């Protein structure tokens, strides 16, 4: 056993991370190939995979910013970021101590809000790049910016739903904490 102190920050990479990223590149690449052919363009396999990789990177960047939103809210509350996890779901962070009440609500909402804010410029770039300033079928199915923007928008909204494991469920837990504290205070006064 070493006398060196344990590291204060850890990064854990699980095998599912590479599998998920590879699958996303393939799925987006297939999407690009099929949609491009539908509008009369015949990309090579390499072009479609490059397109899929670009969309995957932008969605991964949105997810990273989502997690950094949680970290920023935690640090503002005086908490400490102790671990980053790259897994089959993408990215995750561990921040200590576990928050309660308003801290839990703000920290849980910070991630989806940042991801939604990241989606807006991507969608804006897609609109600005379109010659007509509007998104038509071709742009909607072949624009890296549009597909990545919609992907980040979808993930941000999905994550706010009160489904166990999602940030929305953690917001509900924070609200329960507040209600329990309020009930405890009322019973102390009675």
Is residue 105 within 8 A of residue 53, CB to CB? The reply is no
| Average pLDDT of the residues in 93-117 | 95
Among the listed residues 60, 82, 55, the one whose alpha carbon sits nearest the alpha carbon of residue 71: 82
User: How far apart are the C-alpha atoms of 115 and 159, rounded to whole Å?
Assistant: 10
User: How far apart are the C-alpha atoms of 5 and 8, rounded to whole Å?
Assistant: 9
42 within some domain: yes
Residues 98/99/100/103 CA torsion (nearest 10 deg):
180
22 within some domain: yes
4 within some domain: no
142 within some domain: yes
**Res 189 pLDDT > 90:** no
pLDDT > 70 fraction of the chain, expressed in percent and rounded? 96
93 within some domain: no
pTM above 0.85, yes or no: yes
| Average pLDDT of the residues in 58-66 | 96
158 within some domain: yes
User: How far apart are the C-alpha atoms of 29 and 32, rounded to whole Å?
Assistant: 5
| Average pLDDT of the residues in 102-118 | 97
163 within some domain: yes
Based on the structure, what is the number of domains in the chain? 1
pLDDT > 90 fraction of the chain, expressed in percent and rounded? 79
**Res 140 pLDDT > 70:** yes
Alpha-carbon separation of residue 3 from 6, 11, 26, 78, 127 (angstroms): 9, 21, 46, 29, 57
Backbone dihedral region for residue 39 (phi beyond 0: left; psi -120 to 50: alpha; all else: beta): alpha
User: How far apart are the C-alpha atoms of 74 and 114, rounded to whole Å?
Assistant: 14
pLDDT at 31: 95
Task: Report the mean per-residue pLDDT for the chain.
Answer: 92
Among the listed residues 161, 87, 152, the one whose alpha carbon sits nearest the alpha carbon of residue 121: 152
| Average pLDDT of the residues in 151-177 | 96
| Domain around 68 | 15-77+98-189
28 within some domain: yes
pLDDT at 113: 98
- For the segment 1-58, what is each residue's pLDDT rounded down to a tens digit? 556 665 577 999 998 999 999 999 999 999 999 999 998 999 999 999 999 999 999 9
């Amino acid at each position: 056993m070493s006398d060196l102190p344990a590291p204060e920050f850890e990064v854990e990479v699980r095998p599912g991370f590479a599998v998920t990223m590879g699958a996303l590149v393939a799925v987006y690449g297939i999407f690009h190939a099929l949609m491009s052919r539908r509008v009369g363009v015949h990309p090579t396999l390499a072009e479609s995979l490059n397109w899929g990789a670009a969309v995957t990177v932008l969605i991964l960047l949105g997810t990273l910013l989502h997690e950094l939103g949680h970290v920023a809210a935690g640090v503002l509350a005086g908490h400490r970021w102790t671990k980053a996890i790259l897994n089959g779901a993408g990215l995750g962070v561990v921040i200590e101590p576990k928050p309660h009440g308003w801290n839990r609500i703000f920290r849980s909402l910070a991630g989806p809000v940042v991801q939604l804010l990241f989606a807006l410029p991507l969608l804006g770039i897609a609109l600005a790049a379109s010659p007509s300033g509007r998104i038509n079928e071709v742009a909607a199915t072949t624009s890296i910016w549009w597909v990545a923007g919609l992907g980040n928008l979808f993930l941000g909204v999905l994550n706010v739903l009160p489904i166990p494991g999602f940030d929305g469920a953690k917001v509900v837990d924070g609200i329960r904490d507040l209600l329990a504290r309020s009930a405890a205070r009322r019973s102390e006064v009675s």
